[in-house]
Amino acid sequence: MSNVGTPDNPLRVAIVGSGPSGFYATEALLKSDASVRIDMLERLPCPFGLVRSGVAPDHQKLKQAIQLYDKIAQSDGFSFLGNVTVGHDLSVDELKQSHHAIIFACGAESDRKLNIPGEDLKGSHTATEFVGWYNGHPDYRDREFDLSHPNAVIIGQGNVAADVSRILSKTTDELKHTDIAEHALAVLSESKIRDIYVIGRRGPAQAKFTPKELREFGELDDCDPVVNAEDLALNSESQIELEDKSNAGNAKVYKLFNEFSQRTPSGKNKRCHFMFLLSPLELIGKNRLEKVRLEKNQLTGEPFNQSAIGTGEITEIDTGILFRSIGYRGIAITGVPFDERRGIFPNNDGRIIDDGNIVPQLYTAGWIKRGPTGIIGTNRADSVATVESLLNDLHNSTFDNAKNGADFLIPLLETRNVRYVTYPEWMKIDTVEIKQGQEKGKPREKFTRIEEMLNILD
């Protein structure tokens, strides 16, 4: 009988990634009856994943989730190793030696492609790049966005598309007291964009916005939402969808589109146009993006299972910039099975599988486990389920040896000259960021380069 999970031989879990799913997995493990030690590995010096670098800067209230993560991080039995990239600074095999179990909670860091001609033209971007850039993520610090054309196009109608569109729609005054990165605010304040086109493949009844995100477009200082009333006509299948009681969210979204369509534009300087049943066919331009060619779609299929098919009717929009926001994919890590098609780690209730067989010690949670769906809280239920699988395996004596956790990893990092960042060190960075922000009337001014973060520690 194994004694893993007792005070003499605590269950040692490495968690790869420090976003919501990593912290909810930590919370669930710490709440369990087992004696647990957790080492969280994060490739940046700063924790909190998409709550820090994904959630829009004008949604500060959502970022308060960090207060809970901070409390979890200060629990006994938790340690943070930032600025450590698994698969580069440490191998998965090394983590298997140091910990009984590894939970990969590293999110979906890459974008799905449109796979159309011209996609790589200058001016065609992923939403991820733009979101990372305005949120001060070091990976995207030096990206350039040319906002000199009066039109912008966003492909996708989910909440990330809403964030990108809203940031483009807002005035400098609406953004300057948020924690938007300074370099981004400077570029946005010179933006010449006047018309923002938000394009959905399916109809107004299938848009993925939450009502809350969409409602904000009706309340912007200098941007009117525009919806063409004719575009709100529904086929009978979509009517059935909206009448279904379980589909209240989409019904609210549709009602908001309807309200927008009946508004008389109040003459604000910018307009955000919501357009439906359109798929991009080609991005056109000589040296850079000049226009996007779109095909009108129609819906086919049963209610709740309708897909868009092209009608052959073509329309074009002139634009200098386009963002695609049509879904995300995880990135493979050497030593972990990867589902190329879905862009996730294949798993069974959070246990990573290879060709259907469970791979001992490896678990997964969050977007890299289930794909990029849901919001912050969705990850709590998801991580709890993974931890349940892990604890069941503990009871089934899957783990036997005593493991040394971070004590095994730290000498390796030191030999490799990796400047790992501890949680108390992150708290120093945090304090400086908040102070830098206060000076400008912002909740924080983030460091946007890894060297800048490390410099204040040494």
Partner 1 sequence: MTTIVTDNCKGCRFTDCVTVCPVSCFHYDDEMLYIDPDVCIDCSACIPECPVQAIYEGDDIPEDKEHWIAINAERAPNLPVCEDKMDPLPGAEERKAELGF
Q: How large is the angle between the packed helices 378-395 and 20-31, nearest 10 degrees?
A: 40
CB closer to partner 1 out of 248 and 331: 248
Residues 6+ apart with CB under 8 A from 343: 108, 110, 112, 328, 329, 330, 371
Give the whole-angstrom CA distance, residue 180 versus residue 57. 5
Is the CB of 331 or the CB of 381 nearer to partner 1? Answer: 381
Nearer to partner 1, 375 or 402 (CB): 375
Task: Find all residues with CB under 8 Å of 441, minimum gap 6, and list them.
Answer: 176, 177
Q: Write down the least CB distance from residue 256 to partner 1, Å.
A: 10
Are 139 and 128 in contact by the 8 Å Cβ rule? The answer is no
Which CB atom, from 110 or from 378, has the smaller least distance to partner 1?
378
Cα torsion at 390, 393, 395, 396 (round to 10°)?
180
Q: Which is nearer to partner 1, 310 or 371 (CB)?
A: 371
Compute the least distance from the CB of residue 217 to partner 1, in Å.
Answer: 13
CB of 51 to partner 1, least distance (A): 9
Helix (H, G, I), strand (E, B) or coil at 63: helix
Backbone angles phi, psi at 368, to 5 degrees: -75, -15
DSSP symbols for 385-419: HHHHHHHHHHHTT---S---THHHHHHHHHHTT--
User: Cβ closer to partner 1: 67 or 357?
Assistant: 67
Q: Which is nearer to partner 1, 25 or 65 (CB)?
A: 65
User: To 10 degrees, the CA torsion angle through 12, 18, 23, 25?
Assistant: -50
By beta-carbon proximity to partner 1, the closer residue of 83 and 379 is 379
Question: What is the rounded CA–CA span in Å between residue 146 and residue 144?
Answer: 7
Please, what is the minimum distance in Å from the beta carbon of residue 44 to partner 1?
A: 21
For residue 257, which of 277, 230, 227, 278 has the smallest C-alpha distance?
A: 227
As measured in angstroms, the least distance from the Cβ of 211 to partner 1 is 7
State in angstroms the smallest separation of the CB of 49 from partner 1: 13
- Quote the least distance from Cβ 252 to partner 1, whole Å: 7
How many CB atoms are closer than 10 A to CB 435?
11
C-alpha distances (whole Å) from 339 to each of 69, 87, 355, 361 are 30, 17, 10, 18
**Residue ranges that bind partner 1, judged by CB under 8 A:** 20, 24, 61-65, 67-68, 210-212, 215, 245, 248-249, 252, 374-381, 384
CB of 381 to partner 1, least distance (A): 4
